[in-house]
Chains A and B, each alone.
Chain A
Amino acid sequence: MINRVFAMGAILLISLFWSTVMCAQQQHEGSIHYFTEPTLLHDVYGVHRIPIDTGDVSAPKDTLFQLLSREGKPVSYYRKIITEVCFDSSCRLLRVNLYWNVTGRYLGFELPPREFLSKAEHEPFNTDEYLRLHTILADSLSPIGGLNYGDLVPKSAVSDTLDGVTGATSDDVLQYVVKGAVFTTFTIWNLIYGPTQAAVIKATEQAMDANFLLDILNSTSLWDRHWALDRLSILPGPASEVKNRVLSLVCDGSYNLAAHALDAVPTGWCVNATFQQALWSKFDCVQYALKPMLLKKIGLCDDTPDSVLLDIANRLPQMNGPVLTAGLECLRKYLPGNQAVLQRLTSLLNHENRFVANQTKKILAEVSAAEQE
């Protein structure tokens, strides 16, 4: 019960500060909080305790707290961390609550009341250092992920049991950590991106349904949207809202996201001719470099409606390079049976651009050879 109240209070704070996308120090009842943009803005109505393996030798078991919405769906997760970080031959306890979004993305950290983080010589973090730590923790691609304990300080400087003091921290490492708190940074970053992150993702996947996935696809975080796109196949029969959302992402301004959305469209969705029509309707708004990908996707579908095939064929004379090639490939399997398409391709043999004429000639010759076989 205490945990529940504490967690709800924390999430209320998250909601309160969500619009400050990153890095605003948040004081509440004497404690220190830093939170990023949450995936979901739902209020918390319950907490579910999930026993997890931490991967830590000294404390292999712990509890992951799953915060739940009114509908009983996950909103976020946290763990109460108590571990040791050593400084200059002495160790002190690190007590921090770490938060994850439903997608496993770092959400924030919170120190218990009257707790603070400290550097070498037990000097407390200042505001800039908390912000720096928060920024580092939000970076899932940080080179910290490629480091091991032994990389943190020059071998000759200190033994493995010591925390890194400023002067002894390896130059290569210093740019990725809070100065004077190399092991603290390293420890927390690895907690965020360690086995707990996988446990969070697993728990969320178990709760997945169409509306929940749609919520994540609508997250303002690009990372979350990518995460959701990777999980379209979890749904047995997605709602049309999910399909529409994915189609809208196909024309997103972010190249990576649009490409991912196209790639993620399950071939099974093509069974529906209306979906194929809707996918083709994105041809004009999709970025040029992704147009061939869209055509290839349609080419993977079976029983493409005539209206789509003819529209593609009608637009071939205006297509260039890889778009033309992909357009021709998309139509290949309907040749020579579809006379209307064949007629349009035949007319391209006299196109003024010899590249267009040659590409068309090549594909018609291949179709003809296949027929003769």
Chain B
Amino acid sequence: MKRRAAIATMGAFSLGLTAPRLLKGEVLQQPQPIQKKTLHTDILVIGGGTAGVVAAIQAGRAGKKTILVENGSMLGGTTTTGGVAFPGIFFAWGKQVIGGIGWEMVQEAVSLNDDELPDFSIAHGRQHWRHQVRLNGPLYAMVIEDKCVEAGVDLRFYETPVEVVQRNNGWKVTTVGKGTQTEIMCNQLIDCTGNALAVSLAGFNLLREEEIQPGTLMFRIGGYSIDQLDMELITKEFNAAVSRGDLIKGEFLNVASLLRSAGDNVQHIAAADATTSTSHTIANIKGRASLLRTVKFLRTLPGLERLKVLDMQNETASRETYRIDSIYQITHDDYVTGKFFDDAVSYSYYPIDLHDAHGVVPKHLEEGHVATVPLRALIPRGSRNLIVAGRCLGSDRLANSALRVQASCMGMGQAAAAAAVLAHSQGKTPADVALPDLKQLLTEHGAIVPEKLT
């Protein structure tokens, strides 16, 4: 009896332990199941970066039901999350070459921040950054989100695709996110991941270099006066630290440049790859470790004892990962000669800008030349109802080093979406839409469509 009584007592005791002691206002919830949903839409855009935002707005404004899936918490990609808040060049040789939605957003952010645009009628010469428009990154993120909402775009943050399956009339894309698993049925799919993730999941081949360009963690440092520094001594000490292996060679090629620019676009993280969570985690850890290591070292040098990190982006931005195996690959020669394609849907203008272990020496285009982007470079070979926009377009490596810059990606984003809109309306695939229709739709929405010079 004693034993039974003891067990009974233990049972009562353990029951007392497991029964929750709820405080006032608390309610006990069952474990939450994953929320599973099926959505239907005309156009699905994967990736809310530079190209994806423009594509989604274009689709929404053209009257299409549009969903935009973004795996982060904010739109804008390289320009906002990556911190590269100078989105490239919109004017070439005195004329605007990238307009439409991308320019509209840039212009609005500039105006809201009381900034001034550079005078584009003055040639930039070898200093192409004179034509760069500096943006307030957080402000820009708000402006573009507002534009998406206004265009009726259904935004889905924190989601990433895990399966892309072809259906009779389009695609079934499965995404997972925070507590969600969603099947999105769409007619047209636009991959704006920058890494061609959706194209890859759909089963199409990709291209990649053996060694990709380095990435960059954007940050801002302060707490020193550049005029008071003995730059010769600092350079000597910095180089010695690199030789000893205390600092990693190539991460900061020039300490004077690092200090003068106060961290603005000066770091190189080798092999930074944003394609998967695993690879991007590595790139982020390497980027932050590099900065921490360098800051600790710099604080040992005269004049830099009180150096501080004032700001840092959330992630290391990458320059190059995968490109699609497209119907047409834009070559370096196409780019630098400004080749006109009959199916050209947007312009691109930037120096050839390949970053490597030795830094970067931009190669400028010859006067009057402006590259064009053919529709075929945005379409994976053999695909239907699938198109890309952004740096993963079909191109060789050198051409891609210029095409990847944000302004060009904005132009592509609008063009890809316009093609998808027409494909949806006409029951076609983007490769088959009539080019006059496509050019008309783009022009009506303010995009600048390349014209053949006669």
**Which of chain B's residues have a CB closer than 8 A to the CB of A359?**
150
Contact call B61/A222, Cβ cutoff below 8 A: no
Complex contact B107–A289 (CB within 8 A): yes
* Contact status B232-A156, CB under 8 Å: yes
**Of the 9-residue stretches B95-103, B294-302, B395-403, which lies at the interface with chain A?**
B95-103
Kindly list chain A residues whose C-beta atoms are within 8 Å of the C-beta of B120: 254-256
Inter-chain contact A254/B121, CB cutoff 8 Å: yes
Q: Are A320 and B96 in contact (CB under 8 A)?
A: no
Task: Establish whether residues A155 and B230, one from each chain, have CB atoms under 8 Å apart when the complex forms.
Answer: yes
Closest approach, in angstroms, between the C-beta of A43 and any C-beta of chain B?
Answer: 29
Cβ B96 vs Cβ A289 within 8 A:
yes
Known: A254-B121, A256-B117. A320 touches B130 (CB 8 A): no
B62 within 8 A of A: yes
Q: How far is the CA of A255 from the CA of B117 in the complex (A)?
A: 10
In the bound assembly, the distance between CA atoms of A316 and B99 in angstroms comes to 21
Question: Which of these binds chain B: A16-24, A203-211, A329-337, A348-356?
Answer: A348-356
Q: Which secondary structure characterizes the binding site on chain A?
A: helix
A residues 284-322 in Cβ contact with B at 8 Å: 287-289, 292, 318, 320-322
CA distance A295 to B121 in the complex (A): 25
Given A322-B104, A355-B60, the answer on whether A256 and B130 have CB atoms closer than 8 Å is no
**Complex: how many Å from CA A144 to CA B57?**
42
For residue A169, give the distance in angstroms from its CB to the closest CB of chain B: 15
Q: A255-B96, A289-B96, A320-B444 given as contacts; is B63 within 8 A of A353 (CB)?
A: yes
Report yes or no: B91 in contact with A255, Cβ–Cβ below 8 A. yes
For the complex, is A60 an interface residue (Cβ under 8 Å from B)?
no
Report whether B99 and A355 are in contact in the complex, using a CB–CB cutoff of 8 Å.
Answer: no
B61, B122, B445 pick with most chain A CB within 10 angstroms? B61
Nearest Cβ on chain A to B133's Cβ, whole angstroms? 12
Given the known interface contacts A155-B230, A255-B91, the answer about A288 and B446 at a Cβ–Cβ threshold of 8 Å is yes
Contact A355 B61 (CB under 8 A): yes
Which partner residue on chain B sits nearest A171 by CB separation? B256
Is A150's CB within 8 Å of the partner chain B?
Answer: yes
For the complex, give the distance between the alpha carbons of A195 and B240 in Å.
45
Q: Which residue of B lies closest to A359 (CB)?
A: B150
The answer to whether B104 and A321 have CB atoms under 8 Å apart is yes
B101–A321 CB distance below 8 A: yes
Which range holds the interface residue count of chain A? 20 to 34
**Interface: B94 (CB within 8 A):** yes
Contacts of B444 in A (CB 8 A): 318, 320
Measured in the bound complex, the distance between the Cα atoms of B446 and A292 in whole Å is 11
Let me know if A257 is at the binding interface, CB within 8 A.
yes
- B residues near A257, Cβ cutoff 8 Å: 121
A141-B130, A257-B121, A320-B61 known; A289 vs B103 contact (CB < 8 Å): yes
What's the nearest-Cβ distance from chain A to residue B101, in Å? 7
A-chain residues with CB within 8 Å of residue B210 when the two chains form the complex:
none
B211 within 8 A of partner (CB): no
CA A4 to CA B94, docked complex, whole Å: 40
For the complex, is B367 an interface residue (Cβ under 8 Å from A)?
Answer: no
Q: Is A253 in contact with chain B by the CB < 8 A criterion?
A: yes
B410 within 8 A of A: no
A325 at the interface (CB under 8 A from B): yes
* Contact A353 to B62, CB < 8 A, known contacts A256-B119, A321-B446, A322-B104: yes
Minimum Cβ distance to chain B for residue A221 (Å):
10
Query: How far is the CB of B99 from the nearest CB of chain A, in Å?
Result: 5
Least CB distance from B78 to A in Å reads: 22
Q: How far is the CA of A35 from the CA of B150 in the complex (A)?
A: 53
| Distance in angstroms between the alpha carbons of A235 and B52 in the assembled complex | 47
**Could you say which residues of chain A place their CB within 8 Å of the CB of B103?**
289
The distance in angstroms between the C-alpha atoms of A281 and B72, with both chains bound, is 45
Enumerate chain B interface residues (CB-CB to A < 8 A): 57, 60-63, 91, 94-96, 99-101, 103-104, 107, 117, 119-122, 130, 150-152, 227, 230, 232, 444-446
Q: A259-B117, A318-B444 are in contact. List 7 more A-B contacts (CB 8 A).
A: A141-B122, A141-B130, A289-B103, A289-B107, A289-B446, A321-B101, A355-B62
